[in-house]
Amino acid sequence: MGKGKLRRFDELSHFNRVFQPSMAEISGKEYHLKGKWKQEVFHNNNPLILELGCGKGEYTIGMARHFPGKNFIGVDIKGARMWKGAKASHEENILNAAFLRTRIEMISSFFAPDEVDEIWITFPDPQPTERRKKKRLTGPTFLRHYQGFLVDNGIMHLKTDSDLLYDYTLNLIKENELEILFYTSDLYSSDIVDDILGIKTYYEQKFLETGSNINYLKFRLKKNIPLHEIQEKE
C-alpha cells in the first residue's frame, strides 16, 4: 500500500462520525449503534438518509450541506475513497453527515426497522453478467435487506450510467408492483434537475465526459411484501 493511502487510512480512523467496524463487531450479532444512530451519533430525531456505495461521498456531503435538518450516512467498503468525503465533513464541521465503512451485504446488522427514511444508490457497479446479477444493489436480495430498516413506502433513488441496470431495476419494480415516482433515461434533458439531482459524483463526471446518458429512477419500497426476481422470458 502506498504512503498516501496509508496516511488517508490513518486520518480516516481519527475523524469524528466515521465508523469502521471490524468483522468481530458484527459477525453473528448486531452493531452497537443499530437503532441508535439518531440519538447517539447525530443527537437529534431528524430523518436518516443513506447513500450506498458512496465512494467519495459527494451525495452524502452535498445533501448534508443542503438539508441541515436531516442526517446522512455514506456507506462504502473502500476507505481511501470515503476519506475524501469524511475529510470535507471534518474540515467543514458538518454535524449531520457520517460514514460507515462496511460491505453492503452486512447492512442489516447496522439499522433497525423503520430507522432509515430514504436511500440513494449512486453509480453502483452494474454487475452485468447473469452470474453476478445477485450482487446488484437494486436486486431483490438487497431490496429485502432495505425492507428490514427502511420506513414503509420509503423512497429509493438510483442514479446510473448503466442502461442495463436501469432497465433491469425498472422492470423489477414493475414486476413487483412498486410505485414509481419518476424515471428518465436522460436526466440532464429532463426538467427535474435541481441542486440535489445536479450533484455530480466522481464516477458520474467520468461517465459524462465519455458522452454517457445518465439514468435516474425514484420509487417507493413497500415493506412486508415478498419480492421476486424478474422472470426471464423463454
Are residues 41 and 33 in contact, defined by beta-carbon separation less than 8 angstroms? yes
Binding mask 108-147 for ligand SAM (x = CB under 6 A): --------------xxxx----------------------
Grid cell in block for residue 199: 450533484
Instruction: Tell which one of 18, 33, 42, 55 touches ligand SAM (CB under 6 A).
Output: 55
Task: Compare residues 42 and 142 and give the one whose CB is closer to ligand SAM.
Answer: 142
Q: Which of 114, 125, 161, 167 is catalytic?
A: 125
Instruction: Tell which one of 103, 132, 134, 228 touches ligand SAM (CB under 6 A).
Output: 103
Binding mask 11-50 for ligand SAM (x = CB under 6 A): ----------------------------------------
Position closest to ligand SAM via CB: 55
- Under the criterion CB under 6 A, does residue 79 sit at the interface with ligand SAM? no
User: Nearest distance from residue 104's CB to ligand SAM, in Å?
Assistant: 4
Grid cell in block for residue 233: 422470458
User: Nearest distance from residue 78's CB to ligand SAM, in Å?
Assistant: 4
Task: Let me know if 125 is a catalytic residue.
Answer: yes
Instruction: Tell me the window of 22-30, 98-106, 160-168, 190-198 that interacts with ligand SAM (CB under 6 A).
Output: 98-106
Task: Compare residues 115 and 161 and give the one whose CB is closer to ligand SAM.
Answer: 161
- C-alpha distances (whole Å) from 179 to each of 31, 44, 170 are 32, 30, 11
- Under the criterion CB under 6 A, does residue 104 sit at the interface with ligand SAM? yes
Task: Identify which of 153, 74, 148, 159 has the alpha carbon closest to the alpha carbon of residue 111.
Answer: 148
SS3 readout for 65-124: HHCCCCEEEEEECCHHHHHHHHHHHHHHCCCCEEEEECCHHHHHHCCCCCCEEEEEEECC
Residues β-bridged to residue 227: none
Collapse the DSSP code of 195 into the 3-class scheme (helix H, G, I; strand E, B; otherwise coil) and give the result: coil
Indicate the DSSP class of residue 175.
H
- Residues carrying an active site annotation: 125
